[in-house]
Amino acid sequence: MKKMRFIIFALSAFILTSLSAAPTILEVEYKDVTVDGKTVKVATIEQPDGTWGYYGEKGGEFDVIVKNKLDTPTVIHWHGLILPDSQDGVSGVTQLNPIDLGKEYHYKFKLVQSGTYWMHSHYGMQEQELVEAPFIITTADDKDYKQVVVMFQDFSFKSPSENLKELQSQSPKDDTMKIDNKAMPGMAMNKEEAAPDLNDVKYDAFLTNYHTDDNPEVVKVKPEEKVKLRFIDGSAATNYWVTLGGLKGQLIAVDGQSVKPIEVEKIQLALGQRADVIVTIPKEGGTYQILGQVEGLKAQTGIILTAEAKAEGFKIETEASEATPALNYDQDFLLHSLDKLLPELSTDTVRVKLSGDMDKYIWKINDQVWPDITPIKVKQNQRIVMIIDNETMMSHPMHLHGYDFKITNINGKSVDGPFRDTVLVQPMSTVIIQFDAINAGKWMFHCHNIYHMAAGMMTYIDVIGVKEN
């Protein structure tokens, strides 16, 4: 009898664990969007029930099978996640091969963070083809808010390789041209005479959550409801100014990391970055356009929040009345992290120079061009102080895999800045970031502008494991 009871117990335990252990499926697949009356194929990452991306809880296990339903290989990177480098999804560096067409790959790691992250292809220039989705990790507090993801995307009818070819052929062919033309990207010149250079690619549209301005996503809200807007810049080469339709919001986190809340009506969001903003819908209800306006242009995209009963017929103007200025460092000066770096570590300083060769549209880190690089080697369990010098006329959203880093100095000014995984390094400027190199492994460090990355601006940091006694 005892034996029988044990068998039943063992069986039910087995059934329970196998139930809870069923991996989530994420399918990388094609999807249609209609832009200017033309319907074209882009890509997305969805669960079989249509959920876009992944939603998990802090402390839970990320146990996911990625199925490639595209007609090309792919590999998916979990942007901003702290994980073993074997799970980081970078083919040729941490994952031997990409996921071939029709094949799948099993990723597994513990969710030690919470907040707004995202996932995207780290294969070729597939981000421009919108192989991307949100990756949201909630905590118990999140039940107090209506959760709304707002991912900005840039869209081109041309393939990313056609766009890159155009950029390469537009480059100045001789030095005279370089000196005469102040607008040439990437050129070093005097700070006084230089205007920053924005937007290499001329896009056909800007989308939010795959929606165009004439058919925006409409989210129903209630009067007095608290809404957590989870902004993600999932664009391939576009930075945004985000506005809240006249609402005042509390900016509570950037790149998934909590900051001391500040009141905002407008925020800056660079490529790859995220921002969590809480807004409260007024008592009288109303309709609010939550917009991202492209840096340096009038073009805008966004979603609609409405408390109206009849939620139809909304449109977003494709252009604002005025062009925005370039992004700047103001926001990073205002933001302060709630977390601290570890106090007890010895430090190691790493210098990173960002430069460009505009004759050939080549972008470099420490004069090296991916894949011909020697990795930056550091020892595990040290505080890494990374001094990033941008010697070009374009800003570069520099992204480090597997770590959050703290911004500690901007152009010589010490700051108690936020933790981030992507920092927009402004033209002709210097930023110091610091991180505790706790996790050994190979961690990509690159510009998140897909064209700069494809044109060489990528390397990796090899955090070399130290054996514990």
Which residues are at the interface with Cu ion (CB under 5 A)? 396, 447, 449, 452
Residues in the chain: 469
Query: Cα separation of 364 and 374, whole Å?
Result: 12
Residue for token digits 């010697």?
391
Work out the number of other CB atoms within 10 angstroms of the CB of residue 221: 23
**In terms of C-beta density within 10 A (0-12 exposed, 13-18 middle, 19 or more buried), how is residue 116 classed?**
buried
CB of 196 to Cu ion, least distance (A): 12
Task: Using the minimum distance from each CB to Cu ion, give the nearer residue, 381 or 449.
Answer: 449
CB of 142 to Cu ion, least distance (A): 33
Task: Using the minimum distance from each CB to Cu ion, give the nearer residue, 211 or 399.
Answer: 399
Q: What angle is formed at CA 12 by the lines to CA 9 and CA 15, rounded to 5 degrees?
A: 150
Containing H/E element for 334?
helix 330-334
CB of 413 to Cu ion, least distance (A): 23
Query: Cα separation of 269 and 448, whole Å?
Result: 13
Task: Using the minimum distance from each CB to Cu ion, give the nearer residue, 85 or 200.
Answer: 200
Mapped to the 3 state alphabet, what secondary structure does 305-333 carry?
EECCCCCCCCCCCCECCCCCCCCCCHHHH
Task: Using the minimum distance from each CB to Cu ion, give the nearer residue, 136 or 352.
Answer: 352
Task: Using the minimum distance from each CB to Cu ion, give the nearer residue, 364 or 396.
Answer: 396
**Residues 159, 164, 166, 167, CA torsion sign:** positive
CB of 447 to Cu ion, least distance (A): 3
CB of 268 to Cu ion, least distance (A): 16
Q: What angle is formed at CA 134 by the lines to CA 130 and CA 140, rounded to 5 degrees?
A: 175
Task: Using the minimum distance from each CB to Cu ion, give the nearer residue, 87 or 426.
Answer: 426
Q: What angle is formed at CA 431 by the lines to CA 427 and CA 435, rounded to 5 degrees?
A: 140
CB of 200 to Cu ion, least distance (A): 9
Work out the number of other CB atoms within 10 angstroms of the CB of residue 66: 22
Structure tokens at 184: 């040439």
Task: Using the minimum distance from each CB to Cu ion, give the nearer residue, 91 or 392.
Answer: 392
Task: Using the minimum distance from each CB to Cu ion, give the nearer residue, 422 or 449.
Answer: 449
Query: Cα separation of 336 and 419, whole Å?
Result: 8
DSSP annotation of 56 reads E
Task: Using the minimum distance from each CB to Cu ion, give the nearer residue, 77 or 396.
Answer: 396
Q: How many CA atoms lie within 13 A of 353 on its CB side?
A: 8
Task: Using the minimum distance from each CB to Cu ion, give the nearer residue, 126 or 381.
Answer: 126
Residue for token digits 């770096």?
341
CB of 424 to Cu ion, least distance (A): 9
Task: Using the minimum distance from each CB to Cu ion, give the nearer residue, 274 or 396.
Answer: 396
* Coil, helix or strand at residue 407: strand
CB of 353 to Cu ion, least distance (A): 13
Query: Cα separation of 247 and 12, whole Å?
Result: 52
DSSP string, 207-274: EETTB-TTS--EEE--TT-EEEEEEEE--SS--EEEE-TT--EEEEEETTEEEEEEEESEEEE-TT-E
CB of 255 to Cu ion, least distance (A): 17
CB of 457 to Cu ion, least distance (A): 5
CB of 236 to Cu ion, least distance (A): 11
Alpha carbon of residue 460 to chain centroid: 18
Structure tokens at 29: 């697949």
